[in-house]
Structure 1
Amino acid sequence: MSVWALGLNHTTAPLDLRGRFAFALDQIAPTLQSLRSSFGTGRHPQVEAAIISTCNRTEIYCAAEQAALDHTFGWLAQSGGVAPALLRSHAYTLHDGEAARHAFRVASGLDSMVLGEAQILGQMKDAVRAAETAGALGSTLNQLFQRSFAVAKEVRTATEIGAHSISMAAAAVRLAGQLFEDLRQTRVLFVGAGEMIDLAATHFAAKEPKALAIANRTLERGEKLASRFGGEAMRLADLPGRLAEFDIVVSCTASTLPIIGLGAVERALKARKHRPMFMVDLAVPRDVEPEVKALEDVYLYTVDDLAQVVQQGQANRQAAVAQAEAIIDAGVQSFMHWLGQRGTVPLIQQLNAQADEWRAAEMARARKLLAKGEPIDAVLEAMSRGLTQKMMHGALAELHAGDAASREQTAQTISRLFLRKER
């Protein structure tokens, strides 16, 4: 069995390219079906697959009897509508042990923009559930991901990898605090109502802003989140007309196109008499048109812009990283041992089937003898001899076959298998 992975992340690809390969959670199932059907029924009839897609990465994990990295790579390039050469210059491909190591590092937060952040683990679990629901997750990938979750748990328990980590939301608050002297005098708008907005709203609410609002496509969901922070909810359609009311705008939706355009921000600035606006676009693809960043009174940050802030203090956690890598090494060795054993499964199944056939034949023979009135001891003796002869026949035949060298090799193998000393 072979395992392979490929993808692109915040260290290998720019934001706009990552946006072309971003899949919302409800898109995972049909996307996996498309990927698996692309293999056809030829050399790769039963390919397992899973897709992890976050604001910082899109990764595909596959497993099959034979690796098909090139095919998977070509499919991904086509799905994003980019030339394979462009994708290849920004992507990474991994095989077997390296694929496992990467999955374990991602789950443990070692490959994240925020070293040690825990959110990625939940995102991976969501991706695995989506793959399982789509019927794309087989025993090999299931084992890979379950082991990655176990390794991540051990890393977080045994090390301080997540200590003092700065989340995206905390970084946004820190930057906003540099622009506005007193955050308690600001009005904050959150666009979207997902996990990232929930986290950002929690951080900003702790600063007790003057007003807090949630704009969401589904008003009911927006109201539910807004009520937790004593804020108001509005429909996404009302956003352009009310944008000028807010000093701080944090957006993260699953929209495939920008929802805050240049024109809307220009009108908002005019209405604000050019008082500054602080904007954070945490979405991939972008929620805010990139041209907005050129406006004089707007301070727009994307997920990539926040990288320098969230990486501060990472040097203090290098000892924890070394500990985490040791735990991951052990996890990789264990997984590769398990994967190697998967190659013997068909042989084990054949041996069990053969043994069951012999056992059934001897049991049928014993029942006939008992029905004829044969003594039980005699029947048991005959059954045990019959089983022994069947088990030994092949080995004894091999000992008498072939030349001297092959007989010697056979003798050593048989001695190792049948003459073991039980301890």
Structure 2
Amino acid sequence: MALFTLGINHHTAPLSVREQVAFQAERVRHALHDLTRCKPVEEAAILSTCNRTEVYLATDAPDSAAHWLAEYHSLPHHELAPYLYTHPEREAVRHVFRVACGLDSMVLGEPQILGQMKEAARFAEEAGTLGTTLHKLFQHSFAVAKEVRSTTAIGANVVSMAAAAVRMAERIFDRLSDQRVLFIGAGEMIELCARHFAAQHPKQIVVANRTTERGLALAQRFDGTAIRLEDLADRLAQFDIVVSCTASPLPILGLGLVERAIRARRHRPMFMVDLAVPRDIEIEVGEMDDVFLYTIDDLALIVESGLESRQAAVLSAEAIITERVDVFLRWLATRGSVPLIRALRDSCERARRHELEHAMKLVARGEEPLRVLEQLSHRLTNKFLHAPTQALSQAADGHDELHALVARLFHLHGEASRND
């Protein structure tokens, strides 16, 4: 089985395509079971974020996995294929390492992706699809990310989507301290956004979440309150800033709901940020005159702060990654030799046991122990060397290559050159 990375990301596909192949967290385990059951895939893990959906595979048939990805999301393969990339072994390992380090992120060097990769590994482990190869790949990825972040400036002045959202809001409103902010969802991205907006001391912070207890726990950290998602229709008009990032497969805020809120606000502007994939806010909302709607792709265009310092660190990070890719591939190569090594050891062990039993019988018959030991050592030496010496004697084609290989295996380079 070979190692492959298959997927789409913000480099290859627009948001409208990415959201069609996103995996909700609660569906990842089912998807992994479906993939490994229906296709010739030995190991699999799925990473699904706002910016990418990637499948990490140990398989000899990556094309079948590509067809599965389209079929699972009820898409014609020919429509998805132009946006897909498939990286084989070395390129796959390099790609995974770059993703873990934030080098392939929309915001260069952003740290959230590492936590998302750890979650992907955990899901695969719980689903029983994280075998030895992918387990080792993830562990190496985490180690490389730690090394890059601690030895380069790739994480310096990191500008997150949350910081970009605050920056855009400041362009709409004179003072964020006068605004009321609504967060829809209670996940990691919403928590990060809440932290950035709370630093501007808005007039009010409210969290709307499907699970009220979780929403309240997040809101209280920022001196806010919580409401139910069902209350959005009645409360939406109260808020100047709305940031949404849920795992809902369908939009939470439709055009009609927002239109009613804008009328109730007497057309005072509303700033909205949709960080969800699939989108939480219907795309038509962005066409309204009094609504400023931004998606994650829009925010990427204004993420510029600290870019130069992070770009300067890329060369150092890439050098580390290249070195670590070679280390991982060497480990991967040894995996292919394991059956041969096991067979070699078993053969030698059988020979050892046979000769030991023969020697013990001689001692039992009264033979001199030192003489038996001497005989034992000669017999073992002859048995272990019989195959390689016979191969050398009978070799015709490829004699030089075989000669060099035996010299390397038995560390005979010095002796061989003296006998030439």
TM range, normalised to the smaller chain? over 0.9
Q: 2:412 aligns to what?
A: 420
Q: 1:378 aligns to what?
A: 371
Q: 2:77 aligns to what?
A: 84
- Supply the distance in 2 between the matched residues of 1:99 and 1:203 (Cα, whole angstroms): 35
1:232 aligns with 2:232: no
Q: 1:153 aligns to what?
A: 146
- Supply the distance in 1 between the matched residues of 2:255 and 2:265 (Cα, whole angstroms): 15
With the length of structure 2 as denominator, give the TM-score of the two structures: 0.94
Q: 2:20 aligns to what?
A: 20
Q: 1:293 aligns to what?
A: 286
With the length of structure 1 as denominator, give the TM-score of the two structures: 0.93
Task: Output aligned runs, 1:301-340, within 5 Å.
Answer: 301-340=294-333
- Supply the distance in 2 between the matched residues of 1:235 and 1:5 (Cα, whole angstroms): 40
Alpha-carbon shift at residue 312 of structure 1 (Å): 4.8
- Summarize the Cα distance change of 1:241–1:356 in structure 2 as closer, same or farther, 3 Å threshold: same
- Supply the distance in 2 between the matched residues of 1:315 and 1:20 (Cα, whole angstroms): 33
Of residues 48, 56, 66, the one that matches 2:51 is 56
Do the aligned residues in 2 keep the contact of 1:401 with 1:407 (CA within 8 Å)? no
**Superposed CA offset, 1:118-146 (max 9, x none):** 00011001101111111111222222221
Alpha-carbon shift at residue 284 of structure 1 (Å): 0.2
- Summarize the Cα distance change of 1:193–1:419 in structure 2 as closer, same or farther, 3 Å threshold: closer
Q: 1:133 aligns to what?
A: 126
- Summarize the Cα distance change of 1:16–1:412 in structure 2 as closer, same or farther, 3 Å threshold: closer
Q: 1:205 aligns to what?
A: 198
Of residues 93, 102, 117, the one that matches 1:124 is 117
Worse-matched range after superposition: 205-214 or 359-368 = 359-368
Alpha-carbon shift at residue 406 of structure 1 (Å): 5.9
Amino acid at match of 1:183: L
- Supply the distance in 1 between the matched residues of 2:391 and 2:319 (Cα, whole angstroms): 46
- Supply the distance in 2 between the matched residues of 1:94 and 1:368 (Cα, whole angstroms): 60
Identity %: 54
Do the aligned residues in 2 keep the contact of 1:101 with 1:328 (CA within 8 Å)? yes
Of residues 401, 406, 414, the one that matches 2:394 is 401
- Supply the distance in 2 between the matched residues of 1:184 and 1:143 (Cα, whole angstroms): 48
CA RMSD of aligned residues (A): 2.0
Q: 1:168 aligns to what?
A: 161
Do the aligned residues in 2 keep the contact of 1:115 with 1:311 (CA within 8 Å)? no
Alpha-carbon shift at residue 416 of structure 1 (Å): 4.0
- Supply the distance in 2 between the matched residues of 1:145 and 1:422 (Cα, whole angstroms): 42
Do the aligned residues in 2 keep the contact of 1:113 with 1:311 (CA within 8 Å)? no
- Supply the distance in 1 between the matched residues of 2:103 and 2:399 (Cα, whole angstroms): 53
Do the aligned residues in 2 keep the contact of 1:362 with 1:387 (CA within 8 Å)? yes
Amino acid at match of 2:197: F
Count of residue correspondences: 415
Q: 1:5 aligns to what?
A: 5
Q: Which runs of 5+ in 1 are unaligned?
A: none
Task: Output aligned runs, 1:88-107, within 5 Å.
Answer: 88-107=81-100
Alpha-carbon shift at residue 332 of structure 1 (Å): 1.7
- Supply the distance in 2 between the matched residues of 1:422 and 1:192 (Cα, whole angstroms): 70
Worse-matched range after superposition: 362-371 or 335-344 = 362-371
Worse-matched range after superposition: 122-131 or 326-335 = 326-335
